[in-house]
């Protein structure tokens, strides 16, 4: 319900606080819902500092995770959860922390800081919400921004936070001014702003695209948008004013008023077409030029000629193609990195340097424009410039303009992901070059127990019947996906194509967990073990890893439990329980117990500390719990309290301070130490409890000479009740008995209780288990993590056709056939609701002879090599917000590596290209005949170098 907007006024006309925090929240929620249902181009939004906005959220009681503006929780470092009744009303709206030129300006004249990130430094609110907040709180400055529509085939609404900033140079006096307007504004509107600013007539003004302080093209006053004119953020434009019928450049006018001999330096299309021959009137070519891939060069500056004559310019002697850099147009290093890797992919270079116009698919509805093939044409033109300009850097403005139109997510000047751009570009090039003009409808068939080879070939034929392009020819492979229902064991096998492999780093798919193992028969000291399990695995996976680590006997199994405040909070006895239910800050223990325990009585023991023992201490209610509970099972013939007393003595025997022979072994381990899977001291041949049984019996006989009377009481799960245990107290077999053991000074003198204390958390930074060697991260270990069987996440449930329900099936991937160009994406970035993180782990990857034979399951093509050579790397340096991309690429003809860092290109040694910045790896298949026997790097996680 919308609350009426009617506050009460004070006598002096000033407004008192009209609404409660709850009412403010309701009003804003209603306005937000109304705005979200009416999204359209031109809607006005306001930028608000997240620092102020979160203070308002706390005031209205939304520190609990609700977020009415964009349904996301703000950065936790800016928001402390405090009850609304304890939070003061925020002061005036304060946007001073997100603007560059302070409070002296308003609206369009204000420049917002370029490095801001939505939801962290600022939020967007609709006009109605801003007006209401401003009416309540005043302040500012106001930062209005319009919603624009981006994209051609796929429309996307976005708020234009950063307007296009152009640096206007007046050729009359070289004075400079700043022009800010929407990239959706027309060139005609730009002329209007400039002429108003300079107080000149529009007919006497001429604007040049003055990119890099050089005249590029004249900007004709038209309805073409600034974005379509490929104007970039912070670039220069030049104003020339006609005087006495002449322009400053010296060109005059003819008798009709038309300009004479004006030739743009960079026409929209050069006289040599991007497809390989002279440009005809329709922009396509029918003449094929020679292959320029092997050292020849194509000019980058042409006159705008309509007769189709070739104008070739030779590059400097000694220059080779492929060594041109790409200018950074404003946070476009991600694009430059991906492009350099693609334009140094040999099959792609050879293809686009020849005539490919016949393969442009003009009928594909999935193509990248209403005129299909425009993205492929733009990429082809850029590739030709890069292979024809010697070492002169190329400004990819036209390509970026096309890219922004087809993929709105890459518009603007924010940093993006090079791999995401690569994925879009490969897919877009495929659709533009798809040789299949009319895609047939093909019904998918289930495998139904047929041989894998038959099903895989059928799926590949079906895929090729709908998708046939250069990209499919060289970049697409096929993998086998196997799903198994955990309930009915239904197996579903499919064969799917892939363009690249996104490999998780082992630390992103696995989890390190520390669990303390206790002996249920008192045959050894408790010991923490650190194991590695799948993040989305099950508790049975944890039990199996612990069993291997502690050398569990064949007649034993493990009972997991969570300990909280020195008592057992819960037993984790469901093997199918997800490990995600166990948090890092919890404390988990595992008890080694006999497998055959049906009909036996389980004994749970908690510890209570008493400073001294008095005659009436058993009747007291003092409770000071400490240590970790112990669990054991009583023998079949156990019937009295004396049996409980003996069981307690047996469990405590490893803790006795008197150095018995058995205890001398266990005390060789450092107190409170830990053992990992790789620790050589944790050998099954040296496990605790595997010593001579007669030695253990002798110890118990020695202990029997002592007074075995402990202060024991029956209690409940929480340790609240007490009932003293006598020697002759009867026990009902097959039940669970909970006992409280009171520790007096005597027990502390006899037993070392430190082994029961300081229970480690499941995972804590700073707690490291002893390891004999660090785990090596190699490309092979990443690939094995990708191919490892794992359960689907709760959000990716699979619909089982047998059960007719969604199930959390297990999934297993296998490589079936590999492409000629194999791309590996290392998943260094992880995102969660509250955290964005990057892993800078060094991944050791082979440069030569990457042999994947053992991972390929299809063995029907023995002549096909599965050995690869590295030829390009997309690198990412730094963090998520302010990182930088570059590329390493190898010129195959020279057999030499180069570093492409935007405009800068420099040679680099092969030994220098392995860094922790490697993000996307590009490999090319080595022909089978060229692979020498025995030279391939073995596909083992520890063998690459």
Q: Name beta bridge partners: 45.
A: 126, 145
Match 């006024």 to its residue by tokens. Answer: 9
With contact defined as beta carbons under 8 Å apart, do 634 and 643 qualify? yes
Q: How far apart are the C-alpha atoms of 210 and 234, rounded to whole Å?
A: 11
Of the candidates 823, 854, 833, 837, the one whose C-alpha atom is nearest the C-alpha of residue 919 is 823
Q: What values do phi and psi take at 905, rounded to 5?
A: -125, 125
Structure tokens at 845: 């990857």
Measured in whole angstroms, the distance separating CA 796 from the mean position of its chain's CA atoms is: 17
Alpha-carbon distance of 846 to 897, in angstroms, equals 15
| Number of C-beta neighbours around residue 60 at 10 A | 23
Q: Which value, to the nearest 10 degrees, does the dihedral of the CA atoms of residues 332, 334, 336, 340 take?
A: 180
333 classed as catalytic: yes
Helix (H) or strand (E) holding 561: strand 556-564
Give, as one character, the DSSP assignment of residue 362: S
| Spatial separation of the C-alpha atoms in residues 179 and 169, rounded to whole Å | 11
Q: Please state, in angstroms and rounded to a whole number, the distance separating the CA atoms of residues 379 and 422.
A: 12
How far out from the chain centre does Cα 184 lie? Answer: 32
Q: Which of 195, 333, 459, 485 is catalytic?
A: 333
H or E stretch covering 497: strand 491-498
Of 667, 748, 848, 884, which one is the catalytic site residue? 884
Decide if 884 is catalytic.
yes
Largest CA distance in the chain: 127
Token pair belonging to 92: 């005036």
The DSSP bridge partners found for residue 484 are: 491, 810
Give the residue carrying structure tokens 């002279």: 278
Residue 844 DSSP code:
B
Round to whole Å and give the CA distance between 274 and 367. Answer: 18
Structural contact between residues 923 and 870, judged by C-beta atoms closer than 8 angstroms: yes
* Structure tokens belonging to residue 778: 């190699």
Calculate the CA 415 to chain-centre distance.
15
Nearest 10 degrees: Cα torsion 838, 844, 846, 847: 70
**In 723-788, which ranges are continuous DSSP H helix?**
745-750, 779-787
CB-based burial label for 564 (10 Å; 0-12, 13-18, 19+): exposed
Phi/psi of residue 594, each to 5°? -65, 145
Q: What is the full DSSP assignment across 562-614? A: EEETTEEEEEE--TTSBGGGS-TTSEEEEEEEES--TTPPEEEEEEEE-SS--
Q: How many CA atoms lie within 13 A of 203 on its CB side?
A: 4
List C-alpha distances in Å: 48 to 94, 118, 295, 353: 8, 10, 54, 50
Cross-strand pairs, 514: 530
C-beta separation of 608 from 600 below 8 A = no
According to DSSP, the residues that pair with 603 across neighbouring strands are 632, 737
And the tokens for 331?
């946070």
Residue 516's φ and ψ, nearest 5 degrees, are -90, 125
- CA 942 – CA 773 distance, rounded (Å): 12
Vertex 262 angle, CA 258 and 263, to 5°:
145
In this structure, what are the phi and psi dihedrals at residue 863, rounded to the nearest 5 degrees?
-80, -15
Residues with catalytic function: 333, 884
């Amino acid at each position: 319900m919308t609350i009426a907007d009617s506050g009460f006024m004070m006598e002096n006309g000033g407004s008192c606080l009209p609404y409660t925090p709850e009412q403010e929240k309701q009003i804003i929620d209603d306005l937000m819902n109304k705005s979200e249902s009416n999204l359209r181009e031109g809607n006005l939004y306001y930028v608000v500092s997240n620092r102020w906005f979160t203070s308002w959220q706390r005031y209205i009681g939304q520190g609990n995770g609700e977020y009415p503006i964009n349904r996301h929780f703000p950065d936790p470092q800016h928001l402390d959860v405090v009850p609304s009744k304890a939070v003061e009303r925020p002061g005036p709206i304060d946007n001073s922390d997100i603007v560059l030129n302070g409070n002296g300006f308003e609206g369009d004249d204000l420049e917002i800081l370029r490095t801001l990130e939505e939801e962290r430094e600022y939020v967007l609110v609709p006009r109605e919400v801003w007006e209401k907040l401003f009416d309540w709180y005043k302040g500012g400055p106001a930062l209005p921004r319009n919603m624009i529509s981006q994209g051609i085939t796929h429309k996307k609404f976005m708020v234009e936070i950063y307007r296009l900033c152009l640096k206007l140079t007046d050729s009359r006096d070289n004075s400079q001014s700043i022009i800010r307007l929407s990239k959706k504004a027309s060139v005609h509107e730009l002329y209007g702003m400039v002429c108003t600013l300079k107080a000149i007539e529009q007919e006497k003004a001429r604007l040049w695209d003055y990119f890099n302080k050089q005249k590029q093209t004249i900007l004709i006053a038209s309805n073409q948008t600034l974005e379509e004119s490929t104007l970039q953020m912070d670039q220069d434009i030049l104003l020339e004013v006609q005087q006495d019928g002449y322009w400053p450049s010296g060109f005059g006018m003819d008798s009709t008023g038309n300009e004479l001999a004006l030739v743009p330096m960079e026409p929209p299309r050069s006289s040599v077409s991007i497809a390989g021959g002279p440009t005809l009137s329709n922009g396509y070519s029918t003449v094929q030029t020679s292959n320029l891939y092997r050292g020849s060069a194509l000019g980058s500056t042409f006159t705008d000629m309509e007769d189709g004559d070739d104008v070739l310019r030779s590059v400097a002697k000694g220059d080779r193609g492929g060594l041109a850099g790409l200018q950074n147009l404003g946070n476009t290093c991600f694009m430059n990195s991906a492009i350099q890797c693609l334009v140094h992919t040999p099959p792609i270079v050879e293809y686009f340097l020849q005539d490919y116009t016949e393969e442009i698919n003009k009928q594909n509805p999935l193509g990248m424009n209403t005129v299909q093939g425009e993205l492929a044409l733009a990429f082809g033109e850029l590739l030709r410039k890069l292979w024809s300009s010697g070492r002169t850097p190329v400004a990819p403005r036209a390509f970026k303009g096309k890219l922004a139109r087809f993929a709105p997510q890459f518009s603007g000047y924010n940093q993006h992901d090079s791999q995401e751009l690569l994925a879009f570009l490969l897919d877009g090039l495929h659709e533009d070059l798809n040789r299949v003009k009319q895609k047939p409808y093909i019904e998918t068939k289930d495998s139904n127990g047929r041989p894998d080879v038959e099903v895989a070939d059928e799926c590949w034929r079906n895929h090729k019947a709908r998708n046939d392009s250069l990209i499919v020819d060289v970049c697409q492979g096929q993998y086998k996906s196997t799903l198994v229902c955990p309930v009915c064991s239904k197996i579903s096998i499919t064969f799917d194509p892939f363009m690249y492999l996104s490999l998780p780093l082992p630390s992103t798919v696995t989890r390190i967990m520390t669990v303390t193992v206790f002996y249920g028969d008192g045959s050894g000291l408790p010991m923490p073990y650190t194991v590695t399990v799948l993040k989305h695995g099950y508790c049975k996976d944890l039990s199996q890893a612990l069993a291997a680590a502690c050398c569990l006997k064949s007649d034993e199994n493990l009972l997991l439990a969570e300990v909280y405040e020195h008592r057992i909070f819960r037993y984790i006895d469901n093997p199918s329980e997800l490990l995600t239910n166990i948090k890092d800050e919890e404390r988990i223990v595992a008890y080694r117990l006999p497998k055959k325990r049906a009909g036996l009585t389980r004994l749970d023991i908690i510890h209570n500390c008493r400073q001294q023992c008095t005659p009436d201490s058993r009747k007291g209610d003092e409770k000071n719990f400490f240590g970790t509970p112990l669990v054991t099972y009583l023998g079949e013939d156990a019937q009295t309290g004396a049996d409980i007393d003996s069981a307690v003595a047996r469990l405590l025997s490893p803790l006795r301070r008197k150095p018995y022979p058995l205890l001398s072994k266990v005390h060789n381990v450092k107190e409170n130490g830990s053992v990992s899977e790789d620790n050589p001291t944790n050998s099954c041949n040296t496990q605790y409890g595997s010593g001579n049984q007669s030695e253990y019996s002798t110890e118990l006989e020695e202990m029997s000479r002592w007074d075995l009377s402990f202060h024991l009481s029956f209690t409940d799960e929480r340790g609240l009740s007490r009932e003293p245990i006598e020697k002759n107290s009867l026990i009902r077999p097959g039940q669970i008995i909970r006992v409280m053991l009171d520790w007096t000074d005597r027990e502390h003198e006899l037993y070392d209780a430190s082994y029961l204390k300081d229970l480690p958390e499941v995972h804590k930074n700073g707690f490291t288990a002893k390891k004999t060697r660090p785990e090596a991260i190699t490309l092979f270990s990443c690939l094995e993590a990708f191919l490892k069987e794992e359960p689907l996440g709760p959000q990716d449930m699979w619909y089982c056709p047998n059960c007719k329900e969604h199930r959390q099936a297990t999934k297993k991937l296998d490589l079936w056939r590999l492409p000629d160009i194999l791309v590996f994406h290392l998943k260094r970035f992880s995102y969660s609701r509250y955290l964005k993180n990057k892993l800078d782990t060094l991944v050791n990857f082979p440069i030569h002879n990457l042999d994947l034979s053992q991972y390929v399951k299809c063995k029907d093509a023995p002549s096909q090599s599965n050995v690869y050579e590295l030829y390009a790397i997309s690198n990412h340096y730094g963090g998520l917000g302010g990182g930088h991309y570059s590329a390493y690429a190898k010129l195959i003809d020279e057999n030499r590596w180069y570093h492409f860092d935007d405009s800068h290109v420099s040679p680099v040694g092969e030994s220098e290209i392995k860094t922790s910045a490697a993000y996307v790896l590009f490999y090319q298949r080595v022909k089978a005949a060229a692979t020498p026997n025995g030279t391939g790097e073995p596909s083992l996680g520890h063998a690459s170098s």
